[in-house]
Structure 1
């Protein structure tokens, strides 16, 4: 598989996706047309136009899947797929209603490049359970694409001593997740991404790194350019459990 999973699509002082321009260009090398999935936001046309403006600079045309008469057929013939950010619950519900969870999964597993940002990165995980979003709609289940066998928390935030916020920190919430689930979670800070090429998984980014949470262990810091291929080691077990229709982590 060829995956590029971005924590965020916009960085302070930079245009849309500009902070990751070089890695996106490399990931989509040879792609003439990108199939964009805009369902995480309400304005599908406007969102697609925003992506098309960026991709035009890379010489790539963009087709919004919402314009297709048969979205599943569009996914099945896509040269590359990009699922954008927004609300993860709305996104997953839309994918489920259009039969796109399996269609996109099969196409990506066949070898076409997949790119996700924020909610689109959540979709690459086994489930939706580590999103930061509010459940503004209710999907049929939390099962997502399962392109990696671990969970990701995009936009990961470290605790700030100056903050007046008295609720749980992100680290506390992910620790609570691990009390009920046996799958690791990688907290991707702003400006970071994961790139997968078959059995190799690498952490990249401008400056910040990522924080890995695993059952029964203290969190571990990882900097840019770290090889995280070891996180793929449970993939065979994950695939087996999914094929048996058992929730991963149960």
Structure 2
């Protein structure tokens, strides 16, 4: 068995219904699976968020169950075949995952190939070694920044390019990623809206509606088009600042 990941930059793309931009990818990922367990912990209204996901995934013939409704979470995590971790605030999400003791069991089952993992936005950020490349405000404080560590590099979901006519004088997204690389030697993939990563074991591909931008220490950022094989990123060595 091999690990199986589908990592979206976003679930909503401008002018489209939720996940409309990725129908083919979802159909392939969810094929032959009937139940998706949903982690709504990046939001505050768990029932409302879960109902939104139920509606979005209904065309794919799956039943969506919010993890907040199960009576035995740890047993559910051992039995589940598909886990979807949704977007919202990454700090709130990680703090809840820690409190529910989800990090280790999910990591073990995904890496063994027993559990398929789907993430969007903050959920995609959680697939990385840490959440340090999130865009979110720290509205709560997790015990650490360590996430599921399902891939060996970092992702910046919702990556935005600087606007040429903008009068904003603050840091751009590229500025912030370059600051991260001053302290941490690990690739950061900026996933623009409408793009996603598909991982099957040792194979990793970029797909979707937009190019992705890869940042690495000591080199200029590189652009990659949808359909690009990025499997080599899975063998990159990473060094994180251990003081944080």
Q: TM-score range by the shorter chain?
A: over 0.9
TM-score, scaled to structure 1: 0.93
Shift of 1:104: 1.3
Write the deviation string for residues 78-130 of structure 1: whole angstroms up to 9, x where unpaired: 11000000000000000000000112111212212110000000000000100
- Please name the residue that 2:184 is paired with: 181
Q: Distance in 1 between matches of 2:167 and 2:138?
A: 25
Q: Distance in 2 between matches of 1:179 and 1:164?
A: 26
Q: Distance in 2 between matches of 1:83 and 1:116?
A: 5
Q: Distance in 1 between matches of 2:225 and 2:8?
A: 15
- Aligned: 1:153 with 2:153: no
Which runs of 5 or more residues in structure 2 are unaligned? none
- Please name the residue that 1:72 is paired with: 74
- Please name the residue that 2:58 is paired with: 56
- Please name the residue that 2:231 is paired with: 229
Tell whether the 8 Å contact from 1:32 to 1:79 is kept in structure 2 after alignment: no
TM-align CA RMSD: 1.2
Q: Distance in 1 between matches of 2:194 and 2:186?
A: 24
- Aligned: 1:132 with 2:135: yes
- Aligned: 1:163 with 2:166: yes
- Please name the residue that 1:243 is paired with: none
- Please name the residue that 2:32 is paired with: 30
- Aligned: 1:4 with 2:6: yes
Which runs of 5 or more residues in structure 1 are unaligned? 239-246
Q: Distance in 1 between matches of 2:155 and 2:204?
A: 13
Moved more, 132-141 or 19-28: 19-28
1:74-93 alignment, distance < 5 Å: 74-93=76-95
Q: Distance in 1 between matches of 2:241 and 2:155?
A: 14
Q: Distance in 2 between matches of 1:249 and 1:60?
A: 41
Q: Distance in 1 between matches of 2:27 and 2:241?
A: 35
Q: Distance in 2 between matches of 1:28 and 1:13?
A: 24
Q: Distance in 2 between matches of 1:126 and 1:61?
A: 30
Shift of 1:249: 4.9
Write the deviation string for residues 19-41 of structure 1: whole angstroms up to 9, x where unpaired: 11110110111111001000000
Tell whether the 8 Å contact from 2:131 to 2:146 is kept in structure 1 after alignment: yes
- Please name the residue that 1:106 is paired with: 108
Tell whether the 8 Å contact from 2:159 to 2:191 is kept in structure 1 after alignment: yes
Q: Secondary structure at the match of 1:57?
A: helix
Shift of 1:192: 0.3
Shift of 1:68: 1.3
TM-score, scaled to structure 2: 0.95
Shift of 1:210: 0.4
Q: Secondary structure at the match of 1:157?
A: coil
Tell whether the 8 Å contact from 2:86 to 2:119 is kept in structure 1 after alignment: yes
